[in-house]
Amino acid sequence: MLHNPYVVVMGTEYLLFDVGGACAIVGLLVTLTVTVARNTRTLYLRESLP
């Protein structure tokens, strides 16, 4: 990090923290999507239909 704060991704140079931040955002979006889907399914199955 002190010597070279850049990383090469698919032939393009980016800052390391930019790449790390993008990976964190993708991970959180996947976690959010999975959690919403599980909770929606659970609530649907527990709801009593008339």
pLDDT for residue 2 is more than 90: no
Q: Taking the domains of the chain in order of start, what are their residue ranges?
A: 6-46
Alpha helices of 1-50 — where are they, by DSSP H?
16-46
CA 48 – CA 50 distance, rounded (Å): 6
Contact 6, 15 (CB under 8 A): yes
Give me the pLDDT at residue 1, please: 73
Report pLDDT digits (tens) over 4-34: 899 999 999 999 999 999 999 999 999 999 9
pLDDT of residue 48: 79
What pLDDT band is residue 49 in, cutting at 50, 70 and 90?
confident
Cα distances (angstroms) measured from residue 1 to each of 4, 15, 19, 39: 5, 10, 13, 40
Which of 46 and 49 is assigned the larger pLDDT?
46
